[in-house]
Amino acid sequence: MGSEARPEWFQRAIDAGGDEADVTVEGCKIHYATWGEAGKPGIVLIHGSNAHLEWWRFVAPFLADQFRVAAMDLSGNGGSGWRDKYSGEVYAREVKAVCEDAQLGQKPFVVAHSFGGFVALETGHYFGRELGGIIFGDFTVSPPEAYTEWGKQAEARGGQAARPTRVYEDFDTALKRFRLVPEQEYPHPYIIDYIGRHSLRQVDGGWTWKFDPAMYDHLEMGVEQTDKYLGLQCRSALILGEHSEDEGALSAPYMIEMTDGVLPVITIPATHHHFMFEEPMATVAVIKGIILAWLQAD
């Protein structure tokens, strides 16, 4: 991982480990890790597209002094199992199951990045009364005319099945191919090295990526984003990367308009879509600030 100096928080996060566990949801193993003591207010962290729970490695341990924290692998990603079909409702049930199995207590909080925001919205739609609130990270609800259904990739290919992920002969060759989507500059290359190393799995013939390449061919998230958001029975807030170029993060003005300007929106300066890799300690501070304010209001 090179010899450049690493800040204290990097090693502290690595050393914090995390207790790993699995829970079965509708016949599929869902993998997660936890930090912090049971009995504290609970937070579940949800990753984005083709990602995994390690996206939160440099955030989760620093929340654990005040919270019970779980970071999960959605089905089709990371160490969780794959499904023949995926849906927003099933993903919501995965989140709920992790909250219960990880002992996150009553009214846990959901923090979700990118595609995980879709999952958080579905979780709020089905189980909002049981949540303390949702923080959407670089995910925004799009106006109906701008919404694109995620599960349309097979149609775009004329019905052809998704290609399997490429198999590389050796680990180092595969690691060199790891990229963030969308690509961005990042000040901590050792973080990207760490994330890349945890994004690979060994298969016959070499190494390939952990995610299910056919997930979006068999995914139904629904198109009622605006109605679902306006119908949420829990609070919500929004964290943005100042220079994010992700299309899913561009509708903050629409969300602010929908909420008559009361939606808490915090932009982390000088960051992009994967802001937790650029400014993990700022990300920790923002999450704590929002949730602690909610708890105080209660």
Q: Where do the structural domains in the chain lie, given as residue ranges? A: 8-158+216-297
Tokens of 209: 């990526």
**What gap in Å lies between CA 100 and CA 94, rounded to an integer?**
10
Give which of 224, 209, 216, 227 is closest to 87, Cα–Cα. 216
8 Å CB contact between 124 and 226: no
pLDDT by residue, tens only, the chain of 298 residues = 445 689 999 999 999 999 999 999 999 999 999 999 999 999 999 999 999 999 999 999 999 999 999 999 999 999 999 999 999 999 999 999 999 999 999 999 999 999 999 999 999 999 999 999 999 999 999 998 876 665 555 455 455 667 889 999 999 999 999 999 998 888 899 999 999 999 999 999 999 999 999 999 889 887 679 999 999 999 999 999 999 999 999 999 999 999 999 999 999 999 999 999 999 999 999 999 999 999 999 9
Find all residues with CB under 8 Å of 161, minimum gap 6, and list them.
154, 214, 217
8 Å CB contact between 55 and 32: no
Number of H helices, E strands in the chain: 11, 12
In sequence order, the β-bridge partners of residue 43 are 69, 109
Q: What is the pTM of this model?
A: 0.95
Cis omega (within 30 of 0) for bond into 187: no
Q: Does domain 8-158+216-297 have CATH number 3.40.50.1820?
A: yes
Question: Inter-axis angle of helices 88-101 and 115-127, to 10 degrees?
Answer: 80
Per the listing, tokens 């949800």 go with 46
Strands 109-113 and 86-87 turn out to be unpaired
Other CB atoms within a 10 A radius of the CB of residue 127 amount to 18
Q: In this structure, what are the phi and psi dihedrals at residue 266, rounded to the nearest 5 degrees? A: -120, 120
- DSSP summary character for residue 194: H
